[in-house]
Amino acid sequence: IAGETSAAYIYQSAKIRNSALHKGIGYYETAIHKFLGNSIISRLKGLNFQSNEEIRKRLTPDTEIGKGDWVDVAGLIAPKSEIERLMNDIESGEITELEQINARCKEIHSNYYTYEWTWAYDKILSFYDLDPETITAGDVIRIVNVWKECVVNLDWMLYEDAKKEFSLNSMISFGADGSRDEMRQDFEQVRGVFESNPFVMTVLEHIDKKTALGEELINRIGQLG
């Protein structure tokens, strides 16, 4: 018997601890917030709005293509409906040349972000329980704030993970037979200092960049509430 209070769950002979399962669900939700937040920020990038109606108009997808399942066709990530349309056109004889197939694939690829937004918008409405007729700047700001928190938290996880590479345990074998200070000095000569490590600096810069990106959109539409 498994339930919310069970210590572990059994799935196809795999035993999963309750805590691990909930942590995994949390990570998955973080990824969803990150992707949907990225999409809405990109959709509204560089535009000024005078009303919530203008925001709703901009959020409305340019096409219906993109809803539903997507597939990976030899590296081409595309709406399943478009791949099925291509296959139907080949079977019906409408497409008979390789050049036509290449042209259709190129068309699908060039419209990727348009199709992606159609999919993302549909998921935003359902995931955040929003009505397309009543979305406001406040709803967008709420999504962006959650996105910002998720992105920054993921970066801090990378930061903390990198810090382990500079822990005392990682310094074992450095400065052999020397004092702890000599061990640290030897380690820093080989590995460098944590705060000035290129990867660490990149993570911190990414935190600042993404925080600023979210704040810019919030400030741009904040007066609309």
5-41 per-position pLDDT tens digit: 778 888 788 888 888 888 999 999 999 999 999 999 9
Residues 6+ apart with CB under 8 A from 68: 79, 80, 81, 119
Specify the range with the lowest mean pLDDT, choosing from 2-16, 84-98, 165-179, 190-204: 165-179
Contact partners, residue 96, CB within 8 Å, separation at least 6: none
pTM of the predicted model, to two decimals? 0.80
Query: d(Cα 225, Cα 91) in Å, to the nearest integer?
Result: 52
User: Could you tell me if residue 218 is inside a domain?
Assistant: yes
Residue 129 lies in a domain: no
Give the range of the structural domain holding residue 203, as residue numbers without chain letter: 17-61+136-224
> What's the total number of domains in the chain?
1
Q: Per residue in 148-170, pLDDT tens?
A: 999 999 999 999 888 877 665 55
Residue 76 in domain: no
Q: What is the mean pLDDT of residues 106-125?
A: 97
Copy the structure tokens of residue 163.
């810090």
Residue 196 lies in a domain: yes
Share of the chain above pLDDT 90, in %: 69
Question: Does 110 map to a domain?
Answer: no
Q: Are 218 and 210 in contact (CB under 8 A)?
A: no
177 domain residue, yes or no: yes
Question: Rounded CA gap, 8 and 173, in Å?
Answer: 40
Which pLDDT score, from 0 to 100, does residue 199 have? 86
Q: Is residue 97 part of a domain?
A: no
pLDDT of residue 169: 59
Check residue 211 and give its pLDDT.
95
Q: Is residue 4 part of a domain?
A: no
Residues sharing a CB contact under 8 Å with residue 80, sequence separation 6 or more, in sequence order? 68, 69, 70, 71
